Structures are given as structure tokens and as C-alpha cells.
Structure 1
Amino acid sequence: MADTADTADTAVGAARATPDGAATAAPYGTANTTPYGTAKAAPLPTPRRRSIRRPGPALWSLPPLAALALVFLYPLALVVWQSFTPEEGGHSAAPYTEVLAEASFREALTNTVLIAVGATVGALLLGLLLSLVIAFVPFPGGRALSRFIDLFLAFPSFLITLALLFLYGTVGMANGLWTDLTGASHGPLDFLHTPWGVLLAEVTYFTPFVMRPLLAAFSQLETGQLEAAASLGARPWRIVRTVILPEALPALAAGGALVLVLCLNEFGIVLFTGAKDVVTLPMLVYTKAMLDGDYTGACVVAVVNIALSVALYALYRTLMSRTGATAGPRSGGVPHRAGA
């Protein structure tokens, strides 16, 4: 009986008063007592682990940046530095004044821009047409043709030029067939050594660079939009103009910008066609450096070519950023593969 009374007194004494007068009993297992009223031992402090400092992302980016600077930026800086170094010594802008005043430079710049723009327009039109056929017109061998386009991107440019020479050259297959049928001394095709031949070769070579992003964009089109437009009686060309082209414009612009920059810097096609009257900026660099021994003038032309390419790429990025900000996010469901 005495033990029971002591236990009750302990429980009553453990009760605590709250501000509103209600008594709250202290539960078992508090920090200082146990159910039997004995004192609980204080917990041992846990040892702190030493934090290991790991290198941040900025430190990991230093090796690739150093390799990039050594392989690319350092030779580029040497070219720019050499372009300001006349043969008489010292450093001045006199080489730029001399080269920019030459008629050969102005002619090369004009040929480069005209051929690049013409090849880009031709590649865009041909690439868009072929991409529409491959993506939306079912025919045997369409998948194999799409795989061949990926393989075509790995071909060197001079290989396409040699193929065109075998087909349309002065002693090519087309002229040979014509002379066999008519008995003429030579065939009618003799344009590969002209700007038109260079233009044809560049359009043939760079068209897959437009088709690859277009085919990727067409594969993400929602088939519901195409089916809805067809059910409303829209003709195929109207569906292409109102449904397909707005979705493919970013891919078309990306492919066109890439082809334009590549055409500005193309050297192998112009060299292997043997077009003596067609001198572009890369050909002028080769002529000044290897044939004339004018390394300073070659560096000046190279710097102008690089500046032109970078300016066109910056213009493309600016236009695309403004177009994306104006258009905003597109609403729609989950995209489905076209033709699925």
C-alpha cells in the first residue's frame, strides 16, 4: 500500500500546469527520467565528420578550356597577329588597306557571297522537297534512303565533285552517250568549270545538311493536326503551307544557316572542279600563301573570311532568339511521330 501511494504521489507531482490552468502529465521516457523514476544518462555527443572539399565545376572546366585555347585559339591569334605584320616589319593596318583595295579580293568576295547564297537557296528548296517526300509519302525503300542520308554526311566534298565530273564532265558519261548517238566530236555539256558547276556541286553536297534537321522535325509533328486538316478538305499543298512549314521553320533556318557558313568556307569543291575563273576567299588564301608567298595577305583574307562567317552566325542566332521570344511556347499535346 505504501508503494502504491508513493507511485501516485510521484505521478501527481510530475503534472505540470499550463497557462490556462489545465494540468498536463509528463509522459514516460522524458529526457531526464525513466518510467521507474531513475535518472537517464546524458547521450554521448556524436563526432563531427570532417567535410572533404571537392573541386568545383569551374576547376574541372579548366583542362578542356586549356586544350581548346592551345589547339584552336592560339593558331587563330597567330593568324590575326600576322595579318597586322607587314613585310617591312612592325605592326600596322597597312596590309588590310592593300588587300581590300585589290580587284582580286573584291572579285573573290563577290563570288563567295553569290555562290554561298545560291547554294543555300538551292539546298533549302531541294532539301525541303525531298524531306517532304521521305517523311509523308510512303514508298518502298524510304527508310533505307533516310539511313543513306546519314551516311552521305560523312562523305568528303571532293568525292561529290569527282562523281559529277564522271557524269557531266567533258569526257563524262552524258557527253559520251551524246557523241555515241549523234556522232559529234564533243558533247553539249561543258559547265562544270564555270560558277554553275560549282553551284551544282555545292547544292548536291550540302542538301543532306538541310534534310537531316528537317526529317527530325517532321518526325515530331502531331498526326492529329494533319488528319484534322485533311478531314476538313484541305489540299496537300495547303496542309504543307499552313501546318507543316510553321513547325519546320526552326529546323529549316538551322539547316540554312549551317549550309551558308559551310559554303562560305568551302575549298575542296572549287579546287576539284578546276574552275579557273571562279576564285573564292578560301581559294584566294591558298593562292596568296602557296603560289605568291604572300603570307600576310593570306592572313588578311583569312581574317576577313572568319569575320564574315562569325557575323552571319551571330545574325542567325539573333534572329532565332527574337523569333523564339515572339512566338512563345506552343501549346499542344504529346508529339507523335508523323505517319505513325
Structure 2
Amino acid sequence: MGAAGRGSGERGAGRRWVLALPPVLVLGLVFLYPLALVVQQSVSPDGGGHSVAAYGQVFAESAFRGALRNTVLIAVGATVGALLLGFALALVVAFVPFPGGKALSRFIDVFLSFPSFLITLALLFVYGTAGMANGLWTGATGAAEGPFDFLHTPWGVLLAEVTYFTPFVMRPLLAAFSQVETAQLEAAASLGAKAPRIVRKVILPEALPALAAGGSLVLVMCLNEFGIVLFTGAKGVTTLPTLVYGKAILDGDYPGACVVAVVDIALSVALYGLYRVLSSRAAPAAPSSRPSRPSRSPRTDGVRRARA
């Protein structure tokens, strides 16, 4: 009986491995193999053989250090801005009834499919040198030129990335807010809790996992954003993706471009790994075998937090 059970278990495990093999092979060919080629090219100089000299040359360049600094600063700034703006807008859409709220929620889903350069072009039409905002200013004041001339600076890149990536934060937040019971908010308000306190004590704890998920996604996407930086034409703003483009296409330095790409990949994977570690530590511990007291309902927990 035991031997038969072990045999059937081994056959089931073997069957699972067979079923998992095709997707693993597809994943390896489509994603892992190209990455392996990039790593191989980074240690394959033009003269042949294998060498890590390209890493030392790239790391010694001031252009690389500046691109790394710009990439991290812009990515962190855009992530913070998208989190703050996305949280505020998601609160309004989810909890403040207004005409067109459902249509706006659906538009957010459509917005996620837009390419990033469209947002940059839209901002150029609004805040560009010949854009609508400067046109209104010159028409009203008679000045020769308008005051808005920041799109070709790091601030323009930051504004474009915050504008584009905010819906990526709003989408998981709206899903989380849809699980918050209205009765929980009404009970907290009936106890005298003001709106800011309800947001801080009741809504924010429910939104933290969605904020972490949206923020980590936006951070990784900002680290690898290419279209926005390229289309703004920001002077002196070089990021790791644009440095890869410059080395490969403009300079023909393929080993150097692959070195920068490897650094960008390592940075993205490290940040994702950090997010996974932090999220796993923040997850509630598994219940023990000892009998526990009956748990309170989410409504009771929210009201207790609002009263605290």
C-alpha cells in the first residue's frame, strides 16, 4: 500500500515536470537567452576573447556615473510623485461620488495601454515653447514669450513620468478601495472621526499592499524608461537606457552598451528582490497550532483604528 502510494506520487511529480517543461523552455528562449547574450557580449571585446575590461572602462566614465545618478534620482522622484498623486486621485474616484466617476475609472484602464511618448507629445502641446499655456500667456500679457520653459530639463522628464505612471498606481489602489466596506467608514464618521483621520487610520492600512505593489512596478518601469527621456529632448539628462542607445547606435560600442544594460538589469532585479523581501516580512505570520481567540471583523478593526 505504501509502496503503491509512493509510486503514484512519483508518477504525479514526473507528470508535473513534463507539463512544466514547455513553458520553461519558452521562457528560456524568449527572455533568458537574449539576456545571456547581452551578458556574453559585455565580456567579449571587439578584438576577440573574453575580458571584463569593458566594465572598468565604462565604470570610469563620468557619463556613466551621471547617467546612473540621473536614472536613480528621476526614478525615485517619479515614483514618489506617482504614489502621492495616485493615492489622492484614487481616493476621489473611489469615495467621492461625482458625475462620470465610472467612466473615469474605465479610462484609467485604457490609459495603461498608451505608449509613453504620447504623454510627452501632449505635454509639449500644452507647455512647449509654442504650446497652449505659453500662447495664452503671450496673448493675455503681450509678452514676446511665455514663462513655461521646463520640459527640456530634468523637471520636464519628472513631470512626464509622474503623469504617465500615476494610473499604474491608481489601478491597484482602486481595486483595494473597492474592498473597503462603506459601513466601516460610516461607523468611524459616526464616532466623530474627521476625514483625514479616517483616511489615515482606516483607508491607508488597507491600501498599503496596493501602494507597495504599484510603487515597485512604477520604480522598475521608471528605471528602464526610454521614450519619455528621448522625446523630451532634455539637455544634459542622460539615463542608463539612453546611454545604451547612444553607445550602441551612435558610437558603435556594443560591449560598452551591453555593460550599461547589464548594470540596468542588475539594478532592476535587485530592487525587485528587495521589494519581495520587504513584502514577505510585512506579511502576517502563519497561524500557530494553538487555539486562538475569535478574530475581529474588518469593520471592527477599522472602527478601533479610527477611535485610537
Q: Normalization by structure 1: what TM-score?
A: 0.80
User: Within 5 A, what are the aligned runs for 1:1-340?
Assistant: 56-325=15-284, 331-333=295-297
Q: CA deviation at 1:221?
A: 1.0
User: Which protein is richer in helix relative to its size?
Assistant: 2
Higher relative contact order (CA 8 A, sep 6+): 2
In structure 2, relative to structure 1, the CA distance for the partners of 1:328 and 1:136 (3 Å cut) is farther
Judged with a 3 Å threshold, the aligned counterparts in structure 2 of structure 1 residues 301 and 328 are, in CA distance, closer, same or farther, namely farther
Q: Which 10-residue stretch deviates more, 180-189 or 53-62?
A: 53-62
Alignment partner, residue 5 of structure 2: none
Q: Which amino acid aligns with 2:29?
A: L
Distance 1:162 1:328, change over 3 A: farther
The corresponding residue for 2:3 is: none
- SS of the aligned residue for 2:130 comes to coil
In 1: Cα distance, 2:24 partner to 2:286 partner: 35
Aligned residues: 284
Q: TM-score, normalised by structure 2?
A: 0.88
Give how far 1:332 is off. Answer: 4.8
Deviation (angstroms), 1:63: 1.4
**How far off its partner does 1:331 sit?**
4.4
Residue ranges of structure 1 left out of the alignment (5+ in a row): 1-50, 336-340
Q: How many angstroms apart in 1 are the aligned matches of 2:281 and 2:287?
A: 10
Change over 3 Å in CA distance of 1:160–1:328 after alignment to 2: farther
Query: Which of 1 and 2 has greater Rg?
Result: 1
SS at match of 1:234: coil
Bigger drift between 228-237 and 322-331 goes to 322-331
- AA partner of residue 190 (structure 1): D
How far apart are residue 166 of structure 1 and its match? Answer: 0.3
Cα deviation per residue 1:120-170 (whole Å; 9 max; x = unaligned)?
A: 000000000000011111111111110111111011100000000000000
Amino acid of the structure 2 residue aligned with 1:201: A
Distance 1:148 1:132, change over 3 A: same
What one-letter code is carried by the residue in structure 1 that aligns with 2:53? A
SS at match of 1:107: helix
Please, what is the CA RMSD of the aligned residues? Answer: 2.0
